[in-house]
Amino acid sequence: MNGLLDAMALIGRTLFGACLAAGRLVLFAISGISHVVRPPFYGRMFLRAFIEIGYFSLPVVALTAVFTGMVLALQSSTGLSRFSADSAVASLVVLSVTRELGPVLAGLMVAGRVGAAIAAEIGTMRVTDQIDALSTLSTNPMKYLVAPRLLAGLIALPLLVVVADILGVLGGFIIATVKLGFNSELYLANTLNFIQTDDVVSGLAKAAVFGVLITLMGCYQGYNSKGGAQGVGAATTSAVVAASVLILAFDYVLTELFFAR
């Protein structure tokens, strides 16, 4: 009987802890987003975050997209040839890249690169009293540290995904024409005929949400880190793991929202 009660208590404590953590995260997000639209605005901080998230993530996102497009063309050709449906390779590549793989893989790459960096930077500022110092210098840390990063993530991720979409399709095109012997004009025509505005827009909308999730988790974990170097390390890991899981979960939710009939 006591064992059952202990187990129930443990479940209760865990659920309560999870609700508490979710509530804190939501309040943090509301506060951060509200500061995005209220002055003063820190343009230099936004620009710095935008360059860090957008420009410096370009190489890793571009490489991921190109190789993904190449693999996709190769795999789909192998599979579709069994049903004599090779002509569908172009449409499968463009649809997969624009709707799913572009935003999700770009999101995961940026989560690993930028989410960790944001958590480490803000976490270090927390444990070295720099965030307290901001408060004593008439500066709201949420406005100075969090809001510019959220805005930068919201804008930079869709731009990265535009690049990822183009390079992903290009990767598929290269493999299809060079290795699999597709006619280049026909492949391009198939790609352009099949793709619709909704495919691209839904991918970009997902990217915008992922951009906010990545920066939000980096900021939240860093802002609440404690305990010196070990705490900052834990915050960095949590930021990447949480952002990655949230990207996949929100990907499903957004796909339901955009495409479920």
Partner 1 sequence: MNDAIPKIRLRGLCKSFGTKLVLDGIDLDIAPGTSMVVIGGSGSGKSVLLKCILGLIEPDTGTIEIDGVDLLHQDRRGRDETRSRIGMLFQNGALFDSLPVWENVAFGLLAQNRCTRAEAHAKASEVLAQVGLAPNVGDMSPSELSGGMQKRVGLARAIAAQPDILFFDEPTTGLDPIMGAVIDGLIVDCVKRLGSTAVAITHDMASARRIGDRAAMLFKGRIVWQGPATDLMHTGNPMVDQFTHGEREGPIQMELRK
Among 1, 3, 5, 136, indicate the residue that binds partner 1 (CB under 8 A): 136
21-29, 126-134, 158-166, 222-230 -> range binding partner 1 (CB under 8 A): 126-134
Task: Take residue 125 and report the two structure tokens written for it.
Answer: 């500022």
- Residue 61: how many CB atoms within 10 A of its CB? 23
- Between 6 and 129, CB nearer to partner 1: 129
Among 7, 22, 51, 133, indicate the residue that binds partner 1 (CB under 8 A): 133
Report the SS3 class of residue 124.
Answer: helix
Number of residues that bind partner 1 (CB under 8 A): 15
Q: Which of 38, 37, 28, 93 is nearest to 66 (CA)?
A: 93
Specify the residue for token string 């958590």. 119
Among 137, 185, 197, 260, indicate the residue that binds partner 1 (CB under 8 A): 137
Among 51, 132, 228, 230, indicate the residue that binds partner 1 (CB under 8 A): 132
Is 104 in contact with 168 (CB distance < 8 Å)? no
80-88, 90-98, 105-113, 122-130 -> range binding partner 1 (CB under 8 A): 122-130
As a whole number of angstroms, the distance between CA 111 and CA 24 comes to 21
- Between 2 and 136, CB nearer to partner 1: 136
CB of 212 vs partner 1, minimal distance in Å: 22
65-73, 106-114, 134-142, 177-185 -> range binding partner 1 (CB under 8 A): 134-142
- Angle between the 58-81 and 89-96 helix axes, to the nearest 10 degrees? 150
30 scored as a contact of partner 1 (CB under 8 A): no
Is 68 in contact with 105 (CB distance < 8 Å)? yes
Among 34, 128, 183, 237, indicate the residue that binds partner 1 (CB under 8 A): 128
Site for partner 1 in 82-121 (CB under 8 A): 121
Question: x-or-dash pattern for partner 1, window 46-85, by CB under 8 A?
Answer: --x-------------------------------------
Q: What is the SS3 assignment for 150-198? A: HHHHHHHHHHHHHHHHHHHHHHHHHHHHHHCCCCHHHHHHHHHHHCCHH
- Between 1 and 137, CB nearer to partner 1: 137
31 scored as a contact of partner 1 (CB under 8 A): no
Alpha carbon distances (Å) from 150 to 62, 155, 186, 214, 255: 22, 9, 42, 9, 22
Among 31, 75, 91, 139, indicate the residue that binds partner 1 (CB under 8 A): 139
Measure the N-to-C terminal CA separation of the chain; round to a whole number of Å: 49
Residues in touch with partner 1 (CB under 8 A): 40, 48, 121, 125, 128-130, 132-139
